[in-house]
Structure 1
Amino acid sequence: MTLLIIGVVVLLLVFYAIGIYNKLVRLTTLVEEGWSGIDVQLKKRYSLIPNLVETVKGYAKHEQETFEKVVNARNLAQSATTLEGHQAAENQLNKALVNLFALAEQYPELKANQNFLKLQEELSVIEQDIEKSRRYYNGTVREKNILVDSFPSNILANIFGFIKSKFFELDNEAKRVLPQVKF
């Protein structure tokens, strides 16, 4: 009888460990999926930026430095390979886009251009989608990190090499605000 009780307890512990392991695998996959969603939205944004720059260039030809900053920031963001690299590049790109839109304010004809207005609207939608993707990603990271840190799941996480994931955050509160793209 004692052997049967010990066997049942061991079996329950094994099933519990399998459940925790599967949950860690699921959360790791969800984190990867979340990052993939952010990546898709960022690529859409990067594709839109050259069209936006070209439209503004037609009206403000002498503002070459601003255009170069936007293009360089876009290229840097596109080539980022780490989460930290993406965060830094996105901060720089947001600053450059804010400067581009501030420049556009000086040209009333540009603000009335239908192509510019369409690009501005598309960028605004993409920015909102990036924010939604970021929230989903950070939520899955939070769930995974809680499981990796919590007892007794942290024991299995260490045994099987699961590590905490990093949040996708901007540097400070002022940069957390999406660039205003309305005119």
Structure 2
Amino acid sequence: MVIWFLFGAMCMLVVLLMLAYVKFVALNKAAAAAWQQLDNNMKNRAELIPSLALSAASFDELDRPFIYELTGLKDSCRKAGSLQERVRCESEITQKFKKVFTAAMKHPELKTDEHFLKLQKSIIHAESKVQHSKKKYNSAARDFNTITGVIPLNLIAKMFEFEPYEYFDFDPSLDKVIQ
């Protein structure tokens, strides 16, 4: 009788271990997919930088080094070695966008320039997608990190070498600057 009890307990433990592993894998894949979406949206936003730099070059308020920095950000973000570097770089892109649009507000003729208005709308849309993806990634990372921090699941996470995700946090959107 004791043997059957031990056998049943072992089977239950194995089933629980398998269920925990499946949950870890599912949450890990969700976080990885959310990161991929965020990364793609940031790359798409970066593709708008050359057009914005070209427009910004006509503003007296923005000096030549600023324009060079703006165009160099696209490559530096792609080459970022760590998440902290990427966050810093992406935050810098948002700050540069804000500076360009703040300078653009001093030029009333741009309110009727179709090319600039279309570029502005594209950048706002891209920024919105980045913000949405950032929230989705951080949510998936939080879900994964929460389960890896719960006892005894943290032991299972260590056993299968699941590492917690870092959060991606940078200054939010351009909406307040452009309106």
TM over 0.5: yes
Q: Distance in 2 between matches of 1:74 and 1:99?
A: 16
Q: Distance in 2 between matches of 1:69 and 1:96?
A: 9
**Alpha carbons 1:87, 1:169 under 8 Å: kept:** yes
Deviation at 1:69, TM superposition (A): 2.4
- Map 1:99-118; keep pairs closer than 5 Å: 99-118=99-118
Q: How many residues align?
A: 177
Q: Distance in 1 between matches of 2:66 and 2:113?
A: 20
Deviation at 1:21, TM superposition (A): 0.9
**Alpha carbons 1:70, 1:100 under 8 Å: kept:** no
Deviation at 1:177, TM superposition (A): 3.2
Partner of 1:93, secondary structure, is: helix
1:173 is matched with none
Q: TM-score normalised to the size of structure 1?
A: 0.88
Partner of 2:178, secondary structure, is: coil
Q: Distance in 1 between matches of 2:131 and 2:84?
A: 17
Q: TM-score normalised to the size of structure 2?
A: 0.90
1:60 is matched with 59
Please identify, of 89-98 and 59-68, the stretch whose mean Cα deviation from structure 2 is larger: 59-68
Identity %: 24
**Alpha carbons 2:31, 2:140 under 8 Å: kept:** yes
Deviation at 1:178, TM superposition (A): 1.3
Deviation at 1:152, TM superposition (A): 1.1
2:79 is matched with 79
- Match status 1:153 vs 2:159: no
Q: Which amino acid letter does the alignment assign opposite residue 100 of structure 2?
A: L
Q: Which amino acid letter does the alignment assign opposite residue 60 of structure 1?
A: F
Q: Which amino acid letter does the alignment assign opposite residue 160 of structure 1?
A: F
1:182 is matched with 178
Q: Which amino acid letter does the alignment assign opposite residue 173 of structure 2?
A: L
Over the aligned positions, Cα root-mean-square deviation in angstroms equals: 1.8
Q: Distance in 1 between matches of 2:17 and 2:152?
A: 9
1:134 is matched with 134
- Map 1:166-177; keep pairs closer than 5 Å: 166-170=166-170, 176-177=171-172
2:20 is matched with 20
Deviation at 1:22, TM superposition (A): 1.2
Q: Which amino acid letter does the alignment assign opposite residue 172 of structure 2?
A: V
Deviation at 1:39, TM superposition (A): 0.6
**Alpha carbons 1:56, 1:116 under 8 Å: kept:** no
**Is there any run of 5+ residues in structure 1 with no aligned partner, and where?**
171-175
**Is there any run of 5+ residues in structure 2 with no aligned partner, and where?**
none
Q: Distance in 2 between matches of 1:67 and 1:117?
A: 19
